[in-house]
Amino acid sequence: MKLNNPNNSLKMKALYFDKKLEFRKEYPIPVPTENEALIRVTLAGICNTDKEIMNGYVPFTGILGHEFVGIVTECSQSELIGKRVVGEINIGCGVCSLCINEMQNHCPQRQALGIHGKDGVFAEYVTLPIENMLIVPDEISDEEAVFAEPLAAAFNILQNVEISKQDKVVIIGDGKLGQLIARAVSTTSCDLTMIGKHEKKIELAQHFCKTMILNESAKLENYFDVVIECTGNESALHYASLIVRAKGTIVLKSTYAGNIKSNPSFWVRKEIRLIGSRCGPFAPALQFMQGNKIDLTKLIDKIFFIDEWKNAFEAAFLKGALKVLLRF
């Protein structure tokens, strides 16, 4: 289908952020460039990054949202029209040394879908470079495919840290991200534990790792080879420093809303490696979803239609909420 929309004259529903989030019923449908596709969004996920943008931690004006699955409706490569796709969110300049070496995620000129310089997916349509798109295999439902971006971020840990079967690895945090990390890291067959605070949520990981309710007095000091911190709380980072062994690794998977006051001497004395980890490639995440029945839908709290966006954001930002989705 060609929308034939040369002057942006066709309109769509969109959630536009400019200091506050607004529902626009008459936002112009974007026009794809030669290298882009126009995608009709089917489902979109609300993520903590959206919350951070709405709280002003990351400056952004435009359509919010970066987790999605949709159908290509317009594209210069006609064989892609009608295909169900997900998309990598970072758009590099394509010419700097980082982009040439396939590190677009770190290109200083990059745009990021719904985060920086590029309208996002909380809208009926979005444009994305063709090279950012991945076709979703038929075995993966929309409700699973919408997890491609956060699951890819979880798999990024395995690109940044070598984890072997013998390693004792712990995930601190039983929320959305912790759950996806448990699924990704369990593919290494390492000795994996999740430490969390919520009985109900930690149960969701039982199939993939050992689980423990947080107990600061448990004899875990200097126990783990790798500690993955995904709560974004300073106290959890302190706990991570305690339970990691000397010469071990702490992976920082969350952004922190404020400055932290931890004393780095701890890391110096134990000669800890601190590793930051952010976005990851989608292909391993899609392969994993295709090959394993991991039932990501258990991680969905609720799906709202776009017109109910206020209720959706309220539900998504409730303490302890799992994934909330928007349907278009």
Minimum distance, C-beta of residue 165 to Zn ion, in the bound complex (Å): 30
Our CB check for Zn ion shows the closer of 92 and 284 to be 92
- The token duo for 80 is 């892609």
81 binds Zn ion (CB under 5 A): no
Beta-bridge partners for 39: 72, 126
Residue 30 CA: distances (Å) to CA of 65, 72, 126: 15, 13, 7
- The token duo for 137 is 């295999």
Our CB check for Zn ion shows the closer of 112 and 194 to be 112
Segment near Zn ion (CB under 5 A); pick from 92-100, 163-171, 179-187, 266-274: 92-100
Sites for Zn ion among residues 58-77 (CB under 5 A): 67
Q: Is 231 helix (H, G, I), strand (E, B) or coil?
A: coil
- Given 3-state DSSP classes, what are the helix, strand and coil percentages for the chain, each rounded to the nearest 5? 30, 30, 40
Our CB check for Zn ion shows the closer of 170 and 181 to be 181
Pair 73, 125: CB distance under 8 Å: yes
100 binds Zn ion (CB under 5 A): no
Beta-bridge partners for 193: 170, 210
Our CB check for Zn ion shows the closer of 130 and 170 to be 130
From candidates 31, 81, 96, 158, binder to Zn ion by CB under 5 A? 96
Our CB check for Zn ion shows the closer of 220 and 299 to be 299
Our CB check for Zn ion shows the closer of 93 and 260 to be 93
Segment near Zn ion (CB under 5 A); pick from 85-93, 159-167, 226-234, 310-318: 85-93
Beta-bridge partners for 18: 20
Strand 323-327 versus strand 36-46 pairing type? antiparallel
Minimum distance, C-beta of residue 97 to Zn ion, in the bound complex (Å): 8
Strand 244-252 versus strand 273-276 pairing type? parallel
Sites for Zn ion among residues 101-160 (CB under 5 A): 107
Residue 81 to residue 150: CA distance in whole angstroms: 25
Minimum distance, C-beta of residue 264 to Zn ion, in the bound complex (Å): 29
List residues near Zn ion by CB under 5 A.
47, 49, 67, 92-93, 96, 99, 107
